[in-house]
Every structure is written in structure tokens, then in C-alpha cells.
Homo-oligomer: A and B are copies of this chain.
């Protein structure tokens, strides 16, 4: 009797391909970790210049993606997220150059001490290993996520949206040119080339231990699917239901400027404010003025009864409004009776992303900063500063709302792990 190997099916082929991709990434991560900061810097600079040199090809690939999207009837707002032009591409090149200039976090000693047993112990940063980034739209993610990963010594597997596959592949070629120019393996940054949706399911398994961290970038349903199905660690980037609390001691002009900027500078970023809380003590005078600024800038207001009494044009807010991340020019507004009520509201409805107070009273500032539980808490500044670039990280892969590992803007430093390096003189333990 002869045993026959079953003919490979499409599924088993995809699985085999993905597992092999994982193994290549793991192998590449080992050599990347030991390649040294200079090689990594050179690779990222090489990525930037290769992208500049290939801008014609990238824009042509993007034009083809856009043609297909148009033919399929994609909405303009969605198409805008896929579209690249000379200016946007120059922005991506600039982002890569910034990332190349970030200090290399690998090998940095973050602590060193000698306990009673006489051992010399150091805590040293190491790469995480292999990252997998699953993203939608925005082809620039292909470049900046890959560069941040490599800066921190990680190999990366990219799986972008099918609607920009050509654009992503063209950008990937530039990234590989950068890697090889620095003597690094092309497998350091791999891109999933199949449109087959089953590839995502494969990645979510962790590829047999090849993946250390999954990073979903995109809409809520993508992030939730990944969080629910993934068998490996996921960097959580959920909602930004962010508050601006105008305290009784707020400078009125500052409150107006900060509130408007926090909502309206860019309404679709995760750092945009979604609810304004204003102290009863100053609402009579100040709320109508802030409201006029906001509606003048095109914002729709949804207010609680006390606020509506002061801004008659505002619609009535319901319970859902307090918990909603609009990502649109809509702001929920509530009058609160002091700090306790403001903090309770933030604790109940905030998503742990970004919370802010405008106040001049130091004690009120310090209390809010201590008690508001979010990755970023600000006093007297716009929530729109919730951004890795603004924090001086040189870039970010997203803003984490998790409490473990990384919280707030995730830059290269947060894409690392650490090890304890212990130097002894022959000590044994009694």
C-alpha cells in the first residue's frame, strides 16, 4: 500500500506561504538585532532616498489603485485616504528622514545596580523581535511603520488594504532598496502580496510563534477583529473619546482657543476632543462665546439641558453622545458643577486616550492631572498634541489605549523589550 500525500489545497498553500514568511522574518530579526545602530540608520536613510528616487513609479502605481477604486464607486473621502501626490510623498520621505534621526534604542542601558549579592545588574533595551502591521487605506503606513520597526531593531510583516496593493508594493520596493543598501536582509521588511483575505487570519495566529506583536491600524471593526481573534499580543489603539474641561479658574481667551483647536484643527484624528465640560461658575459668560467660536468654525453642538439654556441653537445631547467618538465636526457639551463632577464624567465616559483641563488654579491642575486616568493628560494645551511627533518621538506607530507595555504615543522606544544583563564573579546562591 502506498501512502499518498494529499494534493495541496489553496488554503494549505497560503498557510505554508505565510508560515514561511514568518520564519524568514524571525531569521531576519535575529541578524537585524545584531547589525548595529549605524546599519539601521543607513537603511532608513536609504529607504527615504530610494522612495524619493522612485516617486514616479510609486505615483503611477497609486494612480492605478485610484482608477480601480473610482471604477468600483468608492466614496471621495475614502479615496482621499488612498491618494498620494508629490506633496504627500515628500511628507513620507521627510518622515523617514526624521525616523532615521531618532536615537537608536537598542542596547541602551536603562538601569544599572548592584544588590547585596554583589552581582552587577543592568537592564538593557532589546528589540521586540517581529512585528506584524495590519492596516487599511493610507499607503504611507507602509513606509513609516516599517521604518519605526527597523529603528527599534524589529523585522516586520506588512499587510495593507487590497485597495492600495499596487501603491504598497511600489513603496515596499523602495524599502527593500534601502535595506540592501545598508547590507541588511530584504526579509527584514516583507509585504503580503496576496489579496486573499485569509492571509489576515493566518497572521492573527501568530505564524507559529514568529510574530511578537500585532499592530492593527485602521477603523474600529479591524481593530476589534484583531483584538478578538489574535493569538498573540496586540497593540491596542481604540477610541479617543477625549474631553476638554474648562475649569472655573480658566483664562477665558485660553479656554476659547484651546477648545476650538482641540475639536476643529483636525476632526478625524484620534486626539480630537469629543466632549466639552465647562464649570457652572463660568458657563454663563464663557460658554456662549466658546459655542459661537465653534459654530463659526463649522462645528455642530449637542448639549445637556444646562448648556442648551446658554446656547439655544444647540441640539439636545442624549446618553450615547457622551460616549461617542464622532471623528466629525460635532461636539458634545455639558455644564458641570465643579471638579468632582468633571472627573466622574471623565472616568465614566473617557476611553483612556487623552484628557485635558484649562485652568489657572495650580491645585485644580494637579488634581486633574493626578486623577484623570488616561495615557495622556494635559493642562492648558490642545488635545491635538496627542501625537508622537509632537512628543518628540520622531514618529509614532499609533496611540495605545492599553495599560500594558505601551501607553500613549508609540514610538521606536516603545517597540522594544529589555533583558537583564548580570555580570558576576562566580557567585553561587546559598
Q: How far, in whole Å, are A423 and B421 apart by their CA atoms in the complex?
A: 36
Task: Determine if B384 and A428 form an interchain contact, defined as CB atoms under 8 angstroms apart.
Answer: yes
Q: How far, in whole Å, are A425 and B373 apart by their CA atoms in the complex?
A: 22
User: Looking across the interface, which residue of chain B has its beta carbon closest to that of A381?
Assistant: B424
Give the residues from 121 to 153 in chain A that come closer than 8 angstroms, CB to CB, to chain B.
121, 126, 128-129
A374 contact set on B, CB distance < 8 A? 419
A384 contact set on B, CB distance < 8 A? 428-429
Say yes or no: is A315 at the interface (Cβ < 8 Å to chain B). no
Task: Determine if A265 and B375 form an interchain contact, defined as CB atoms under 8 angstroms apart.
Answer: no
Task: Determine if A115 and B391 form an interchain contact, defined as CB atoms under 8 angstroms apart.
Answer: yes
User: Looking across the interface, which residue of chain B has its beta carbon closest to that of A352?
Assistant: B419
Say yes or no: is A385 at the interface (Cβ < 8 Å to chain B). yes
User: Looking across the interface, which residue of chain B has its beta carbon closest to that of A231?
Assistant: B228
A390 contact set on B, CB distance < 8 A? 115, 117, 119, 429
* Given known A-B contacts A390-B117, A392-B115, A420-B408, A403 and B257 have beta carbons under 8 A apart: no
A429 contact set on B, CB distance < 8 A? 261, 265, 382, 384-385, 390
Say yes or no: is A376 at the interface (Cβ < 8 Å to chain B). yes
Task: Determine if B381 and A427 form an interchain contact, defined as CB atoms under 8 angstroms apart.
Answer: yes
Q: Closest approach, in angstroms, between the C-beta of A245 and any C-beta of chain B? A: 14
Q: Closest approach, in angstroms, between the C-beta of A10 and any C-beta of chain B? A: 28
Number of copies: 2
Task: Determine if B382 and A420 form an interchain contact, defined as CB atoms under 8 angstroms apart.
Answer: no
Identify the interface centre among A213, A365, A425, A428: most chain B CB within 10 Å of its CB. A428
* Given known A-B contacts A419-B407, A420-B375, A422-B379, A370 and B213 have beta carbons under 8 A apart: no
Identify the interface centre among A258, A347, A392, A420: most chain B CB within 10 Å of its CB. A420
Q: How far, in whole Å, are A382 and B429 apart by their CA atoms in the complex?
A: 7
Task: Determine if B404 and A213 form an interchain contact, defined as CB atoms under 8 angstroms apart.
Answer: yes
Say yes or no: is A196 at the interface (Cβ < 8 Å to chain B). no
Q: Given A258-B428, A369-B421, output 17 extra A-B contacts at Cβ < 8 Å.
A: A115-B391, A119-B385, A126-B373, A213-B404, A257-B426, A265-B428, A365-B423, A376-B420, A376-B422, A377-B419, A378-B422, A380-B425, A380-B426, A382-B429, A384-B429, A385-B422, A408-B420
8 contacts between A and B (CB under 8 A): A30-B373, A119-B381, A121-B392, A213-B403, A233-B402, A257-B426, A385-B422, A407-B417
